[in-house]
């Protein structure tokens, strides 16, 4: 029988043979390493996207209806980078929208954009969908 090693610190694990880690702190270290990207370009782009999302969120904060006309200049001043987005789609009317997660915008003209929060779609790529229980509504 071979002793199993901890996935985080690689020391042999004592105790139950089905354990993957020494303890919770090793489990946390492992998960942090796995999910926080250590590749600089990935981390940088993730940061840009998160910042873009936060800027759009700020533009709509306090508004009941999550729609607002904003000057491009204002977004740029906040550090918004138009070339980074998570999703692009066009409506039936051929209006192109650019999204950073659940917040997005579309061009109105060369100076203004319409900032929106996506309340239409319930799910985003990668999100888990759970089956709806029959007869529960
Ligand atoms: Zn360990």
In tens, the pLDDT along 105-117 reads: 999 999 999 999 9
pLDDT for residue 134: 45
Domain annotation covers residue 18:
no
Domain annotation covers residue 106:
yes
Domain annotation covers residue 94:
yes
How many domains would you assign to the chain? Answer: 1
Contact 105, 114 (CB under 8 A): yes
Domain annotation covers residue 74:
yes
Domain annotation covers residue 47:
yes
Domain annotation covers residue 44:
yes
Q: What is the whole-number distance in angstroms between the Cα of residue 4 and the centre of ligand 1? A: 11
pLDDT for residue 91: 85
pLDDT for residue 19: 87
* DSSP per-residue codes, 5-41: BPTTT-PBPPS-TT-SSSSHHHHHHHHHHHHS--SHH
Q: What is the whole-number distance in angstroms between the Cα of residue 126 and the centre of ligand 1? A: 30
- 101 φψ region: left (φ > 0), alpha (ψ -120 to 50), beta (else): left
The pTM (predicted TM-score) of the whole model is 0.64
Per run of 10 residues, the mean pLDDT along the chain (length 137 residues) is 80 83 90 74 90 97 94 98 94 90 94 90 52 43
Q: What is the whole-number distance in angstroms between the Cα of residue 34 and the centre of ligand 1? A: 15
Domain annotation covers residue 69:
yes
Q: What is the whole-number distance in angstroms between the Cα of residue 8 and the centre of ligand 1? A: 5
Domain annotation covers residue 59:
yes
Q: What is the whole-number distance in angstroms between the Cα of residue 13 and the centre of ligand 1? A: 7
Instruction: Tell me the residue range of the domain where 61 lies.
Output: 40-117
Q: What is the whole-number distance in angstroms between the Cα of residue 47 and the centre of ligand 1? A: 30
């Amino acid at each position: 029988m071979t002793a199993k090693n901890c996935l985080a610190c690689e020391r042999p694990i004592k105790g139950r043979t089905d354990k993957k880690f020494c303890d919770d702190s090793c489990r946390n270290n492992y998960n942090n390493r796995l999910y926080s990207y250590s590749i600089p370009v990935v981390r940088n782009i993730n940061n840009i996207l998160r910042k873009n999302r936060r800027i759009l969120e700020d533009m709509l904060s306090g508004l009941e209806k999550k729609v607002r006309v904003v000057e491009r200049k204002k977004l740029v001043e906040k550090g918004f980078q138009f070339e980074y987005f998570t999703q692009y789609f066009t409506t039936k009317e051929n209006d192109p929208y650019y999204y950073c997660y659940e917040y997005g915008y579309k061009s109105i003209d060369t100076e203004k954009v319409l900032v929106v929060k996506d309340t239409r779609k319930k799910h985003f790529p990668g999100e888990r969908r759970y089956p709806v229980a029959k007869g529960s509504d």
